[in-house]
Structure 1
Amino acid sequence: MKLYNYITKLCAGIIVSTLFFACTDDLNQTPMSTIPPEIFFESESQLESYVNNLYAPRNKWNNGNDQEFDVHGNWSFGTFGLDNNTDNMNNKTSANHFIPGEWRVDQTGGEWAFEFIYKCNYFLKYAQEKLDAGKITGTRANIDQSFGEVYFFRAFEYFKKLQRVGDFPIVTEPLPNEMNPLIEASKRQPRTEVAKFILADLDKAISLLKDDPDGGRKNRISKYAAYMLKSRVALYEGTWMKYFQGTAFVPGGSGWPGASKEYNKNYTIANYSEVMNNFFQQCMDASKIVADRFPLVNNNGILQQTVSDPENPYLNMFAATDLKGYSEVILWKQYDRGLGITHNVPIAAQTGGYVNGLTRGYVDNFLLDNGKPIYADPARYAGDNYIADVRKNRDGRLWLFLKEPKQKNLLFNTENAGRANPVEAYPNITSSNAEVGYGTGYAIRKGGTFDGAQLTDNGGCYTGSIVFRSAEACLNYIEANYEKNSSLDGTATQYWKNLRDRAKVNNDFNATIAATDMSKEALNDWGAYSAGQLISPTLYNIRRERRSELMAEGLRMADLRRWRSLDQLIIKPYHLEGMKLWGPMKAWYVDDKGVSILKYGVVDANVSAPDQSIYLRPQEINPNSLVLKQGGCKWAMAHYLYPIAIQHFLITANGSVDSSPIYQNPYWPTTANEGAIQ
């Protein structure tokens, strides 16, 4: 069964009922079906049918952001747009996360939801009962595979909750339609225990999953996908513990809100360093298993510009229709135009990526090909007067993926190209049309294809979407190894050299470290900080490698949060910028009479003003922009976690919000429509 964008026919036994109370969440919902559990879950095919539905996204389309299983949605730039509104990528819409007071507590909804968790628990309870009773027919390995996938999915969902709200109820069974059990189940467990629970679920998944469940297609969750997720989870919580130690954001820290509830008031993390380092060790162990089994795909250093040019496997890995042959890919999603399972990513990559562009800080952060930062070798750095200059003598990832005017975007099947842009034009930064506009002027080729046959219709593209690839495992190992030991072992050293060799960058990372000036890196990279302080050059370059390799793959904001890399924005706002518009490139924007089409400082402005910066500031174009008025992007401590909507307190309260077993996240109020306290 392919990892499809949606499943056209829901299987019996999982259709979700209405909620027990009109305003309650879904802790207590019951799957309604003509086939109840007592006669379902009796064959391996029935188990597989249930599990197939868990692969389906819960939201058909969400502007390309926050896809539930991190795959391409339609009418968007898919996963390649997920880093928008970070210091890596930017468009013309300001995120309220960076406007304190504008991100407010909701009355209803939010992240406090259990529907998907319930579906997993329903399976694990009733299918396990049938298995224990010997009532499931089929091959045990196939039965185990289904159970392993459900444990994986529950872990995946809980990891999203861990990142967004931290402490969270650990619910392992479907609950009865009774208020008292539901209120009891709403008690938040300390995030450290949630992380341990996730890792335990992944260990169960690993013990049950097959090495290769679908004959090498890599469309189903394998043992190695579970190892990859385990690596990610363990690194996340280990670094969170390190950088938030002693604060309200870790259980037992000063001001931790969990201490206000009787059920959590005595919770402490005994042997804090031991627990933290255990997370790092688990990350290393899982990462190595993945990295050693899935070798990196080759980058031949070629960007195809004629039909006779060799293909570049590294570039194509992000836009092929069939990814099973790419050694680095662990899990991917397949699309099928004939079944109507499509997306729009290659069309977006033909132009401005749905206005998602790279920031100047990100572009400047890439090394020169000799391994030096751009400020450390001004003779080799060609400058940024033109986009072509920016690409010269640079890290091969920037050179390969940053588009340049006059490059060819289309080479094959041009007669069936549909909405193609055969030759890259000057960035259309003045357009308000998201389908053709450019956000920063720095547009990326990642996700794009040179084949017009895959661009037939608007919304009809069918290239594959990577869920996990092993380069992340290499990066996770390097970081966890250094965070745990303050040094790098031979495995970490080799992984780092392999990544730099593939990127066509001098692999002597020690020379890079020696040439690194943290005061200059702080100008380009929020990750240069943790808890408002500059980090060491070695750790910084480990983070830089991660930033460079995982370009536009949706992990940047998670990294910034777990590193606590946004405190500095509380005191000093930051301007997100793009290309050097107010230099020679301004000549690109004239009409047929030679008159500039650039407008600034007026209500209908289409670019930011030159007296603000010589670089384009996409979120500061409108004179009424809140980002412009506050002097750039700002942060509040509360924003490291999402607020819990007031609805959920009231449902479980006995007359007042304070009597609810639920407690609000640090520095968020318990009044709807109010912003962060600090």
Structure 2
Amino acid sequence: MTSCNDFLDREPLDAITPETFLWNDADMSAYMIKQYSFSTHSGAGVGIWGNDNGTDNQCQATYSTSWIPGLWRVPDHYDQDSSDPWYFGALYNLNYFLETVLPRYEANELSGNMEMVKHNIGEAYFLRAWFYFNKLQTFGDFPIIQNVLKDEKEELVAASKRYPRNQVARFILEDLDRAISYLTNNPDGGTNRITLNAAYLVKSRVALYEASWETYHANTALVPGGPGWPGKAEDLNGYNADTEIKFFLAQCKEAAAYVADNIKLADNNHTWADGAAKMQNPYFAQFSADDMSSYPEIIMWRDYDVNLDIRHSAGQYLRTGGNTGFTRQFVETFLMKNGLPIYASGSNYQGDKSLQKVREGRDERLQMFMMTPNEVLTEGQKEFVDTLNTYPGLFSKEESRCVTGYQLRKGLSNNWTRDWNENGEGCPIFRAAEVKDVANLWKKDSVCTT
């Protein structure tokens, strides 16, 4: 009877217990990667290339209710998962991680690669900021919760107090500053993981977003203290709109400059050809490559591998039309290569009686990212040559319809497959071009306006 004590006195072999987890960098990385929640290619559809549907740039077969008076509303609670705007599970996980790991880190009790230990702590702060940025965009004023709450009514009610949106935005920037103090640009996993550059980019985005919001919604119920604002005066904490806007613009400038000064954008070598040759232009290829790690402009991306059953169907849907299309208004905003708008005298615009004429002499981005009839899309892949149809699929079944006739090519590589849900092209998440534009505004005008 006594000989069995050592054998039985062991931790459970089929489950992880809180007491034995999050003591080293490997545990921490496994936990943090599980918390990633970014818009990427998944399942059916054109993936992130459909994110502009419902805007004046791009549309699908069904209309967006956002443009119907009275129907653009704060979303209701519907599912207890990450797609539910009222779901707090992700925040709980991040607060639990920080409450558990930080005391161990400060007591020097963690083991493994210490650079990755710090990096994972930085990721937790980054992802909490990312969680709150999504809530700021959805709700505006919002509760700020930095610790794990007990399942007790009084504590939960007290924690549900909404803070003015500028305080939420400041909290997000504070979390990003904490993330910046821990993150590296060279974590295990490279740019498939959150990096220091990504934190600076998001900081710039958040700051510019809030400065813009408070500028263009001034003197309305949508900013703290505005007419009809539902909060209490004592919660304003001395709010001054001009001071807040200047603060956020300064934060935007500082963060954008860090990325803009350290990352080179992809080169456009101004060459273009049908078929596989299109991937020889780095500017086009960075959106379509299987491996995006060689493109510095791609600060963060998601990798796919068909052999590992990590796949998507964006390529196939782009090829067939994917129930989307650029709007005519958007296409007409592209300048001619000589810099003139299409309506200007001397622009040499050829008209829009055919897609070939629409593209002729236009900005190279329109040349690259909008398809034309009969072009060769890929060759030598699985012993077939794929050529686009003579006419756009305006009347195809909805999921493969080219809704407007202006068909998307961005993200379609030269090696897509004809098998549905068998594509392995990477998916960009953050690009340095975003902050390059912001930084250039400051350098050009000395003052950044929103």
**Pairing of 1:563-578 with structure 2 (within 5 A):** none
**Pairing of 1:247-396 with structure 2 (within 5 A):** 247-259=220-232, 265-267=234-236, 270-305=239-274, 311-352=280-321, 354-377=322-345, 379-396=347-364
- In the alignment, does 2:203 pair up with 1:239? no
Residue 394 to residue 36, structure 1, CA distance change in 2 (3 Å):
same
The equivalent residue for 1:448 is 412
Q: For 2:277 and 2:89, how far apart are their aligned partners in 1?
A: 52
For residue 41 of structure 1, what is the amino acid of its counterpart? Answer: L
- In the alignment, does 2:395 pair up with 1:426? no
**Cα displacement (A) at 1:226:** 0.5
- 2:42 corresponds, among 70, 73, 87, to 73
Q: Deviations over 1:137-160 (max 9, x none)?
A: 223322101100111111111111
Q: For 1:105 and 1:288, how far apart are their aligned partners in 2?
A: 34
**Cα displacement (A) at 1:103:** 4.7
Q: For 2:268 and 2:113, how far apart are their aligned partners in 1?
A: 41
Gap runs ≥5 in structure 1: 1-11, 13-32, 56-67, 493-538, 540-562, 564-678
- 1:194 corresponds, among 154, 163, 168, to 168
**Cα displacement (A) at 1:327:** 2.1
Q: For 1:424 and 1:473, how far apart are their aligned partners in 2?
A: 38
Maintained 8 Å contact 2:121/2:179: yes
Residue 310 to residue 111, structure 1, CA distance change in 2 (3 Å):
closer
Q: For 2:139 and 2:278, how far apart are their aligned partners in 1?
A: 49
**Cα displacement (A) at 1:250:** 0.6
Q: Deviations over 1:275-319 (max 9, x none)?
A: 212211211111111122221111122222255677111111111
Maintained 8 Å contact 1:91/1:356: yes
Structure 2 length normalisation: TM-score? 0.90
SS of the aligned residue for 1:330 comes to strand
- 2:58 corresponds, among 64, 73, 89, to 89
Aligned identity (percent) is: 38
- In the alignment, does 2:22 pair up with 1:48? no
The equivalent residue for 1:222 is 195
Maintained 8 Å contact 2:299/2:432: yes
**Cα displacement (A) at 1:448:** 0.4
- 1:162 corresponds, among 124, 127, 136, to 136
Residue 371 to residue 379, structure 1, CA distance change in 2 (3 Å):
closer
**Cα displacement (A) at 1:272:** 2.2
**Cα displacement (A) at 1:135:** 2.4
Q: Deviations over 1:600-651 (max 9, x none)?
A: xxxxxxxxxxxxxxxxxxxxxxxxxxxxxxxxxxxxxxxxxxxxxxxxxxxx
For residue 204 of structure 1, what is the amino acid of its counterpart? Answer: R
**Cα displacement (A) at 1:477:** 2.4
**Pairing of 1:119-158 with structure 2 (within 5 A):** 119-158=93-132
Residue 402 to residue 314, structure 1, CA distance change in 2 (3 Å):
same
The equivalent residue for 2:367 is 399
Residue 462 to residue 269, structure 1, CA distance change in 2 (3 Å):
farther
Q: For 1:450 and 1:138, how far apart are their aligned partners in 2?
A: 42
Maintained 8 Å contact 1:408/1:424: no
For residue 152 of structure 1, what is the amino acid of its counterpart? Answer: F
**Cα displacement (A) at 1:438:** 0.8
**Pairing of 1:624-635 with structure 2 (within 5 A):** none
For residue 410 of structure 2, what is the amino acid of its counterpart? Answer: K
For residue 243 of structure 1, what is the amino acid of its counterpart? Answer: Y
Q: For 1:142 and 1:106, how far apart are their aligned partners in 2?
A: 38
The equivalent residue for 1:517 is none
Q: For 1:408 and 1:238, how far apart are their aligned partners in 2?
A: 45
Q: Deviations over 1:66-89 (max 9, x none)?
A: xx4021112111110011000110
The structure in which a higher percent of residues are helix is 2
Maintained 8 Å contact 1:301/1:312: yes
Residue 190 to residue 102, structure 1, CA distance change in 2 (3 Å):
closer
Q: For 1:401 and 1:410, how far apart are their aligned partners in 2?
A: 15
SS of the aligned residue for 1:467 comes to strand
Q: Deviations over 1:186-229 (max 9, x none)?
A: 111111011111111111111100121137x3111111111111
Q: For 1:102 and 1:115, how far apart are their aligned partners in 2?
A: 28
For residue 458 of structure 1, what is the amino acid of its counterpart? Answer: W
Q: Deviations over 1:547-578 (max 9, x none)?
A: xxxxxxxxxxxxxxxx8xxxxxxxxxxxxxxx
SS of the aligned residue for 1:258 comes to coil
**Cα displacement (A) at 1:332:** 0.7
Q: Deviations over 1:431-466 (max 9, x none)?
A: 2331x2111110111010122xx4152101010010
Q: For 1:376 and 1:318, how far apart are their aligned partners in 2?
A: 32
**Cα displacement (A) at 1:133:** 3.4
**Cα displacement (A) at 1:387:** 1.1
Residue 266 to residue 156, structure 1, CA distance change in 2 (3 Å):
closer
Residue 34 to residue 180, structure 1, CA distance change in 2 (3 Å):
farther
The equivalent residue for 2:4 is none
SS of the aligned residue for 1:376 comes to coil
The equivalent residue for 2:6 is none
Maintained 8 Å contact 2:288/2:413: yes
The equivalent residue for 1:457 is 419
For residue 294 of structure 1, what is the amino acid of its counterpart? Answer: I
For residue 423 of structure 1, what is the amino acid of its counterpart? Answer: L
Maintained 8 Å contact 1:41/1:130: no
For residue 98 of structure 1, what is the amino acid of its counterpart? Answer: W
**Cα displacement (A) at 1:385:** 1.6
For residue 357 of structure 1, what is the amino acid of its counterpart? Answer: G
Maintained 8 Å contact 2:337/2:363: yes
For residue 444 of structure 1, what is the amino acid of its counterpart? Answer: L
- In the alignment, does 2:445 pair up with 1:488? yes
Q: 195-204 or 287-296: which moved more?
A: 287-296
Q: For 1:339 and 1:306, how far apart are their aligned partners in 2?
A: 27
- In the alignment, does 2:158 pair up with 1:184? yes
Gap runs ≥5 in structure 2: 1-10, 79-83
Q: For 1:47 and 1:414, how far apart are their aligned partners in 2?
A: 41
- In the alignment, does 2:16 pair up with 1:35? yes
**Cα displacement (A) at 1:48:** 1.4
Q: Deviations over 1:582-614 (max 9, x none)?
A: xxxxxxxxxxxxxxxxxxxxxxxxxxxxxxxxx
Residue 178 to residue 84, structure 1, CA distance change in 2 (3 Å):
same
Residue 280 to residue 301, structure 1, CA distance change in 2 (3 Å):
same
Maintained 8 Å contact 2:279/2:285: no
**Cα displacement (A) at 1:236:** 0.5
- In the alignment, does 2:86 pair up with 1:118? no
SS of the aligned residue for 2:378 comes to coil
**Pairing of 1:467-486 with structure 2 (within 5 A):** 467-479=429-441, 481=442
Q: Deviations over 1:402-428 (max 9, x none)?
A: 1111111112324278xxx53343111
Q: 357-366 or 206-215: which moved more?
A: 206-215
Q: For 1:131 and 1:309, how far apart are their aligned partners in 2?
A: 49
**Cα displacement (A) at 1:269:** 5.1
Residue 132 to residue 410, structure 1, CA distance change in 2 (3 Å):
same
Structure 1 length normalisation: TM-score? 0.61
For residue 179 of structure 1, what is the amino acid of its counterpart? Answer: K
Residue 322 to residue 310, structure 1, CA distance change in 2 (3 Å):
closer
Residue 402 to residue 300, structure 1, CA distance change in 2 (3 Å):
same
